């Protein structure tokens, strides 16, 4: 059943959860565009397995549908595109040995790969908070459009995880040591900086979003986006070079020696992160720099399952998302106690349980 929208295009709702008044994700056709709307504004459009299982098959259908030219993904409400995965549910499942702890990561990474290899223009409108799982839904697509309200971060080291969803692929490909800096500290990029960093490909003011959307709905977007030439000068803060060391201890040493305000602040931030997460993340980005997105996702699936077997992920989620005391007790509690062998083990094959793409 088609209904006219504000733009005057017929909309047919392709999927709705049976009896719920508010489906958690809207999948619609607007003109020749497939439109995905993350629709849990009260929880900042957090991504859960139910949503992944709705988005993935529709995305594949649109890819081979000759009446669909482009796919647009956006978030409902005015705060977030998607603030991340529904991680709390995952750790609860992990504690009781529920398969959600494997299925969530596996299916999320399969979706990330489908976006990264999509054969039609995929436009993510990242207007608002875009973190973790929300980054995985956007950054691998051909176009990422930021606004002044975009707030980007990969904050996983604060919860005993690592910057997954293909972070091991896109982060080491940002200029210099910027990706490693973002990965270890969870630093938040805002507005135009999201584009300057290369996370977004385009920038529009949020007040112009309705106009941009209506243009994309008419599928002029391919042309529109092609004609915008981006001549922004990328200048990353010089201090990010302090992150060029081959170990986390080396980075901390660089920061302490430097002693600037920036360096002091980053040292303090790093001291709050899971030491295990920091070491896993450094190795993940070092390895990911020369791997394909597919191989990175296979590696990250191994890492996700290592985190599920470990201690810090549960403790991080407890401290940051459940009790909110912001005071995780990491184990091991120092970088020195996290041996190379412990890190190495997290990267080992899961045999027949490995992710296959
Ligand atoms: C995902 O969120 C929706 C809406 O809050 C809920 O109905 C559904 O049960 C959730 N699914 C999972 C797997 O947690
Ligand atoms: C589009 O696909 C339908 C079947 O899925 C086919 O009947 C039709 O001829 C196709 N149109 C074009 C222009 O390829």
Does residue 278 sit in the same domain as residue 327? yes
175 within some domain = no
Q: Which of 233, 254, 285 is the last residue of a domain?
A: 233
> How high is the pLDDT of residue 207?
87
Which tens digit of pLDDT belongs to each residue from 246-281? 999 999 999 999 999 999 999 999 999 999 999 999
Same domain assignment for residues 228 and 317:
no
- Residue 327 clears pLDDT 70, i.e. is over it: yes
Give distance in angstroms: CA of 96 to centre of ligand 1. 18
Same domain, 136 and 243: no
Predicted pLDDT at 235: 44
- pLDDT value of residue 22: 87
Q: State the pLDDT at residue 225.
A: 54
In a domain, 244, yes or no: yes
Q: How confident is the model at residue 237 (pLDDT cuts 50, 70, 90)?
A: low
Looking at ligand 1, which atom is closest to the CA of residue 43?
Answer: 5
Residue 97 sits in the same domain as residue 243: no
Same domain, 110 and 204: yes
pLDDT value of position 19: 52
Split into its structural domains, the chain has a count of 2
How does residue 20 score in pLDDT terms, banded at 50, 70 and 90?
low
Residue nearest atom 14 in ligand 1 by C-alpha distance: 48
The mean pLDDT of the chain is 90
Which of 208, 233, 258 lies at the terminal end of a domain, its last residue? 233
Band of residue 12 on the pLDDT scale cut at 50, 70, 90: very low
Please indicate, yes or no, whether residues 226 and 251 belong to a single structural domain of this protein: no
The answer to whether residue 123 sits within a structural domain is yes
pLDDT at residue 4 in the model: 34
* 220 and 318 fall within a common domain: no
pLDDT value for 159: 97
| 3-state SS record for the chain | CEEECCCCCEEEEEECCCCCCCCCEEEEEECCEEEEEECCHHHCCCECHHHHHHHHHHHHHHHHCCCCCEEEEEECCCCEEECCECHHHHHHHHHCCCCHHHHHHHHHHHHHHHHHCCCCCEEEEECCEEECHHHHCCCCCCEEEECCCCEEECCHHHHCCCCCCCHHHHHHHCCCCHHHHHHHHCCCEECHHHHHCCCCCEECCHHHHHHHHHHHHCCCHHHHHHHCCCCCCCCCCHHHHHHCCCCHHHHHHHHHHHCCHHHHHHHHHHHHCCHHHHHHHHHHHHHHCCCCHHHHHHHHHHHHHHHHHCCHHHHHHHHHHHCCCCCCCCCCCCCCCCCHHHHHHHCCCCHHHCCCC
Using 50, 70 and 90 to split pLDDT, how confident is the model at 227?
Answer: very low
The string of DSSP letters for 322-343 reads: IS-------SS-STTTS-HHHH
> pLDDT tens-digit profile of 154-166?
999 999 999 999 9
Asked if 10 and 124 sit in the same domain, the reply is: yes
Q: Is 89 in the pocket of ligand 1 (CB under 6 A)?
A: yes
Ligand nearest to the CA of 24: 1
Ligand 1 lined by 221 (C-beta under 6 Å): no
* 156 counts as catalytic: yes
Closest atom of ligand 1 to CA, residue 22: 4
Give the percent of the chain with pLDDT over 70.
Answer: 88
Q: Is residue 216 a contact partner of residue 70, using CB atoms and an 8 Å limit?
A: yes
CATH number at residue 35: 3.90.226.10
Give the residue among 252, 233, 234 at the shortest CA–CA distance from 242.
Answer: 252
Residue 85 predicted with pLDDT over 60: yes
pLDDT tens readout for residues 128-186: 999 999 999 999 999 999 999 999 999 999 999 999 999 999 999 999 999 999 999 99
- Mean pLDDT over 298-319 rounds to 98
**Residue 41 pLDDT grade (very low, low, confident, very high; cuts 50, 70, 90):** very high
Q: How many residues can be counted in the chain?
A: 357
Task: Name the band, by pLDDT with cuts 50, 70 and 90, for residue 224.
Answer: low
Residue 169: inside a domain, yes or no? no
Residue of 108, 156, 300, 315 marked catalytic: 156
Does the residue 109 lie in any domain?
A: yes
Q: What is the residue range of 261's domain?
A: 239-357
The answer on pLDDT for 15 being more than 90 is no
Q: Is the confidence at residue 297, as pLDDT, over 80?
A: yes
How confident is the model at residue 211, as a pLDDT?
79
Q: Of these residues, 24, 164, 300, 315, which one is catalytic?
A: 164
**What is the pLDDT confidence band of residue 92, given thresholds at 50, 70 and 90?**
very high
Q: Which of 233, 252, 280 is the last residue of a domain?
A: 233
Q: What is the pLDDT of residue 352?
A: 97
Establish if 168 belongs to a structural domain. Answer: no
Specify if 250 maps to a domain: yes
Residue 5 has pLDDT above 50, yes or no: no
Q: For residues 322 and 225, state if they share a domain.
A: no
For residues 193 and 169, the answer to whether their CB atoms sit within 8 Å is no
Return the best residue to mutate from 17, 21, 24 for the ligand 1 pocket (most ligand atoms within 8 A of CB). 24
Instruction: Report pLDDT digits (tens) over 203-221.
Output: 999 988 887 788 777 755 5
Q: Which ligand is in closest contact with the Cα of 65?
A: 2
Q: Inform me whether the pLDDT recorded for 195 exceeds 90.
A: yes
Q: For residue 56, is it within any domain?
A: yes
Ligand 1 pocket, residue 24 CB under 6 Å: yes
Cβ count within 10 A of residue 81: 31
In a shared domain, residues 118 and 147: yes
What is the pLDDT at residue 219?
57
Residues 94 and 58 in one domain: yes
Global pTM reads 0.90
Question: 122 CB contacts (<8 Å, ≥6 apart)?
Answer: 70, 71, 73, 115, 141, 142, 143
The reply to whether 266 and 306 lie within a common domain is: yes
């Amino acid at each position: 059943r088609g209904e006219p929208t504000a733009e005057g295009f017929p909309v047919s709702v392709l999927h709705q959860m049976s009896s719920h008044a508010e489906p958690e994700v809207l999948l619609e056709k607007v003109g020749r565009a497939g439109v995905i709307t993350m629709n849990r504004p009260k929880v900042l459009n957090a991504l859960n397995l139910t949503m992944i299982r709705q988005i993935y098959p529709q995305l594949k259908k649109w890819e081979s549908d000759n009446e669909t030219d482009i796919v647009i993904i956006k978030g409902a409400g005015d705060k977030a595109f998607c603030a991340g995965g529904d991680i709390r549910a995952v750790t609860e499942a992990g504690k009781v040995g529920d398969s959600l702890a494997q299925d969530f990561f596996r299916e999320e990474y399969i979706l990330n790969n489908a976006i990264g290899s999509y054969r039609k223009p995929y436009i993510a409108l990242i207007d608002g908070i875009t973190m973790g799982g929300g980054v995985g839904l956007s950054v691998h697509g051909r176009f990422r459009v930021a606004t002044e309200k975009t707030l980007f971060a990969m904050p996983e080291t604060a919860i005993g995880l690592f910057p997954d969803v293909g972070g091991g692929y896109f982060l080491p490909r940002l200029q210099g040591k910027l990706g490693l800096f973002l990965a270890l500290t969870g630093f938040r990029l805002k507005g135009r900086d999201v584009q300057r960093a290369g996370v977004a490909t385009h920038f529009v003011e949020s007040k112009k979003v309705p106009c941009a959307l209506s243009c994309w709905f008419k599928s002029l977007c391919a042309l529109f986006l092609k004609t915008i030439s981006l001549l922004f000068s990328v200048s990353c803060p010089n201090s990010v070079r302090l992150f060029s060391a081959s170990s986390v201890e080396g980075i901390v040493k660089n920061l302490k020696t430097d002693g600037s305000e920036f360096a002091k602040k980053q040292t303090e931030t790093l001291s709050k992160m899971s030491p295990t997460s920091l070491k896993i993340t450094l190795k993940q980005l070092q390895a990911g720099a020369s791997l394909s997105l597919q191989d990175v996702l296979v590696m990250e699936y191994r890492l996700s399952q290592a985190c599920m077997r470990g201690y810090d992920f549960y403790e991080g989620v407890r401290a940051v998302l459940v009790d909110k005391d912001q005071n995780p007790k990491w184990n091991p509690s120092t970088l020195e106690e996290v041996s190379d062998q412990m890190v190495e083990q997290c990267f080992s094959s899961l045999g027949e349980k490995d992710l296959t793409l």
